[in-house]
Chain A
Amino acid sequence: MNAPTTSRTIAFAINGESVELEVEARRLLVHAIRDDLGLTGTHIGCDTGNCGACTVHLDGEPVKSCMLLAVQADGARIATVEGLAAEGELTPLQKAFNEHHALQCGYCTPGMLMSAAALLERNPTPTEDDVRYALQGNICRCTGYVNIVEAVVAVGGGENKA
């Protein structure tokens, strides 16, 4: 009886840095990001692709990194929450999360930010409905989404309704 030995060397860019990794073929992308690269800002909240805490950008698109194998990211461009304030300055979205009290325990926050950032990228002035649709794949158990939605709408300059 042997452990599966199929492994592969992959290379991708993460938050602007090129990395090369040898991973087991079955290694989940989220585990490669967290365990192999030490970027622990990306979180795991479920085993089933429901919660979105592991959301990262793959070639600019938000994806749930627990639903991808690491080998699928070979050659891709990945962005994680750690890359948002890479210059040391919080982005308007990160600031808005703070100013609107859009997080409590902060566990869902990296995924929320990455989903919201992707939304703002394609729609810089989202309405409340746009935000709720864009975040429907991200579960938060603390906030009831009220302040998260407000924060994202505010970044786009939209008005929050009461």
Chain B
Amino acid sequence: MTTEPSNSLLQGQVSTTVETEEPPAKTLERGYIGQPILRREDKRLVQGLGTFFDDVRRHGMGYVHFVRSPYAHARILSIDVTKALELDGVYGTLTGDEVAIHTDPFFEMSVEPGGLIKDYALAVGRVRHMGEPVAAVCAATRELARDAADLVEVEYEPLPVLVDAVESLKDETVLHDEAGSNVVWSGVFDWGDVDQALAEADHVVKIERLHFHRFSSTPLECAGALVEYDKGTSEWTLHCNHQMPGVGAIWMAPALRTGIDKLRFVTQDIGGGFGNKVCLHPQYVVLCLMARKLGRPVQWTEWRTDQHTANAHGNERTFFDVEVAVLADGTMTGFKVRALDDCGAFPRYEPLGCIIWAQVAPGMYSWRNIRVDFTQVCTNKSPVSPNRGYSRMQHLWLTERIIDIVASELGLDPVEVRKKNYVKAEQMPYKTPNGCVYDSGDYAAALDIALDLIDSGSIEERRKEAAERGKLLGFGIGSTLDSGTNNFGQSTLLNPDLQFSGNNEAASVKLDIFGEVVVTLGTVPQGQGHETTAAQVVADILGCPPEQVNVRRGHDTWFNSHAGFSGTYASQFAFTGLGAVKGAAELVREDMVQLAAAVLQAPVEAIELADGFARIKDGPEEAALPFMALGAIVNANNAFLPPDFNPTLNHRYVCRPYFGMVDTEKKTGQLTLTYAIQIHAAVVEVDPETGVVEIVDYAAVDDCGVRINPMIVEGQVHGATTHAIGAALSEEFVYDEEGTLLTANFYDYHVPHALDMPPLKTGAMESPSPVAPLGAKGMGEGGGGGIHCIGAAIQDALKAAGNAIVYDSCNPPHRVWSMLQDPESTRANVSVESK
């Protein structure tokens, strides 16, 4: 591995770095931090030597296949597994009835009515979405398990189906009888005085309905696990790809009626997560029960179609009755909206999505008066789970749609109106109306970089040129906050009885006997390069090259290097994950310095760690101990150390960010700690004949504070942007009226391929976070900006062809074509009242 910036890395890409003048408050002196060091993970992965869960084998293991419901909503009249069990090579089966006997329903986070929902690992008595598992079969081979699953006879009685959240709200059909309503959670968030703002406004812009569609990041590796049960100790080991094991165990252990330490999660390499591997507890509980019942290791690998039909969709959200208060000069002072969120058949991670958006309640804008009347309902669709940009993306799309619709209807310039209303650099740190603190950043400057990258000055010229070719050219901006490091206390804004608050992550660092530095993470990386970046941080603290730092792959409960919220999610590794690494490394450093001072008989202040040695600053050459000597003394040759001096060279540190408490009455508080930003800008060409949208120019500018590894940051920007481009133009989980998913695999659910991608230009700023241990903000989820800017660009393009208003977050050709055919119906969605 090279430790020099690679000569090829940043060439050929537009990379603009604008350093802010303020020095980072608490950052380390940069050495390896800040360099685009090549990833150490790659060596195994490019040789096919990674170990993913599906690569794990055990003697005598059985393969599990789920029997899934073909109906979106039905009563289960009977399940007969007799024929499946008669098949040679079938080890056993599990049904919902057994699950109901051997487990308790999963813990629900909502107050009533959602809190009354009973969610089991397999359907009990009723199925509520297509693809819901009703039974599981375990057999000697994958093929045999599938054969056997076909032999399980299930008798269903179909029930009325709800695929529309508005219909669901009527409660004419109720999905969960025990809850008595399809509403999971509802509440009003009211900050400032929006009524007064609307009364005092010069213009009130009204939007009847906006729809954020259902899609997900669909990681290439599907979900799964190999689960072993130890009958002697009653312990399960899950070789798996769960991306949030700390919380997974909180769900699973009570359901399985066992202690949390009886569940050992082991991850190695994970083939992408994007939030979609947070809610795997139902399937994993089935595997645990099956492994215990059969007394053998059991393995399940989800099929692609099953992932699409029944694992993790992003939250679908419809916004109604938006009213925006605008002053004559274009200043926006507030808005109100009614939000209806569709979480599918079970809440699972919900209703957290009903509050997570509030981390970015005002978006990037300085309006002080906001009212959101939020309701979440169940429908007969796949359950949702966190998905890259979780819940904030939906809300930020709303704020960006508001900006562009207001600009369109009042004849304002989308760039100028943004700059006028953005939170200003001089206002940082900025407290939002709901008590969150935007820690740093210069949004207008980031926008300028994006505008330069796409040469916004030439737009009108390019528009004319495109028109000559019969194309409609449009330009749009998407401003995105990538909020990171959750305060789990925000859950108490939904349910004051919940016993969650704060956040934590752990890491361990030790200096081993031969001088090798060993780092154990609590995080669960899925491609984010944690092994590489953790080594960079430790190398800087201990004064050694990163090559001397071994960062263990993956997560293992038995490492005892995790905390209650361990995982990789919600843009927080740079804060909590590396904060823990830094803390543990500093403790080891302290031991090393004290030990060297004792051995070299020098004062502690005289010792420096550098180049893999502990030595006396400016001392003679021989007054230096290699790390190996320190490691050997403590671990193997310690008789001479005095009894009251006990350096261990082995420390675990928990990074516990400080948030303070939230106010459950006012629904305010510091809901998250860092605010990375991404500003996206797109130029598109629309074919008026077909509605096909082509992106002809694209830029994304990221500011995540100190970039530990700019190469990895840029990779995250590329990836998040691609997810957004897919979501904006093609990726949509479409259901028919019977609740059948029509886009159940990569044939019908089109994700971007190499040929679909426009050239991406990237730029970067660094506004160090004053609150993060390394000045680095979590990042990686800011890609929603692509959905915002592409929608805005399409609306701009359609201006010359009837001036349609973009009302949906997904705009495949048929939808754009409809807008071209009937712009008036989209225009009827908006109105302006001016005084």
**A binding-site residues for B, Cβ under 8 Å:** 1-4, 24, 26-27, 31, 34-35, 38-48, 50-51, 53, 80-82, 84-85, 90, 94, 97-101, 103-110, 113, 131-133, 135-150, 154, 159-162
B719 adjacent to chain A (CB < 8 Å)? yes
Nearest A-chain residue to B305, judged by Cβ: A47
Among B43, B55, B274, B747, which residue has its beta carbon within 8 angstroms of that of A40? Answer: B55
Contacts of A104 in B (CB 8 A): 272, 527-529, 715, 719
Query: Is B41 engaged at the interface, CB distance under 8 Å to the other chain?
Result: yes
A–B pairs, 21, beta carbons within 8 Å: A1-B87, A24-B141, A31-B142, A34-B54, A47-B745, A51-B746, A80-B48, A81-B48, A94-B46, A98-B43, A99-B9, A103-B46, A105-B269, A105-B270, A105-B527, A106-B41, A106-B44, A135-B754, A141-B272, A142-B719, A144-B752
Stretch at the interface among B217-225, B631-639, B770-778: B217-225
Please measure, in the bound complex, the distance between the C-alpha atom of A108 and the C-alpha atom of B219, giving whole angstroms.
Answer: 10
| Bound CA–CA A48/B747 (angstroms) | 7
Q: What are the residues of chain A within 8 A of B690 when measuring CB–CB?
A: none
Contact indicator A48/B55 (Cβ below 8 Å): no
Interface core residue of B217, B712, B719, B745 (most chain A CB under 10 Å): B719
Q: How far is the CA of A52 from the CA of B222 in the complex (A)?
A: 14
Query: What is the number of contacts between chain A and chain B, taking CB atoms within 8 Å?
Result: 211
Question: B138-165 vs A: 1/0 string, CB under 8 Å?
Answer: 0001111001000100000000000000
CA distance A84 to B219 in the complex (A): 25
A64–chain B nearest beta-carbon distance, Å: 12
- Complex: A82 Cα to B50 Cα, angstroms: 11
Bound Cα distance from A161 to B83, whole angstroms: 61
Q: Which one of B6, B47, B747, B751 contacts A85 once the chains associate, using CB atoms below 8 Å?
A: B47
For residue B753, CB closer than 8 A to chain A, the reply is yes
Taking CB as reference atom, which chain A residue is nearest B761?
A162
Q: Are A3 and B87 in contact, CB atoms less than 8 angstroms apart? A: yes
Q: Is the CB of A107 within 8 A of B39?
A: no
Q: Identify whether the interface residues of A are mostly helix, strand, loop, or mixed.
A: loop
Do A132 and B50 form a contact, CB below 8 Å, given A98-B43, A143-B719?
no
B711 pairs with A101, CB closer than 8 A: yes
- B667 beta carbon closer than 8 Å to chain A: no
CB pair A103–B42 under 8 Å, yes or no, is yes
**B219 with A103: CB separation less than 8 A:** no
Q: Which 10 A-B pairs have the closest CB atoms?
A: A41-B48, A107-B271, A105-B527, A106-B45, A104-B527, A144-B722, A50-B746, A81-B48, A40-B55, A144-B718
In contact, A110 and B271 (Cβ under 8 angstroms): no
Q: Is the CB of B46 within 8 A of A144?
A: no
Least CB distance from A34 to B in Å reads 8
Q: Is the CB of A139 within 8 A of B220?
A: yes
Q: How far is the CA of A92 from the CA of B143 in the complex (A)?
A: 38
A contact residues around B38 at 8 Å (CB): 98-99, 101
Q: Judging by beta carbons under 8 Å apart, are B526 and A105 in contact?
A: yes
Taking A3-B144, A90-B46, A146-B757 as contacts, is the C-beta distance between A140 and B12 under 8 angstroms?
Answer: no
CA A153 – CA B822 in complex, angstroms?
Answer: 44
Residues of B within 8 A of A90 (CB): 43, 46-47
A143 cross-chain contacts in B, Cβ below 8 A: 715, 718-719, 722
- By beta carbon, the residue of chain A nearest B709 is A101
Q: How far is the CA of A114 from the CA of B512 in the complex (A)?
A: 39
Docked Cα-Cα span, A4 to B11, in Å, equals: 56
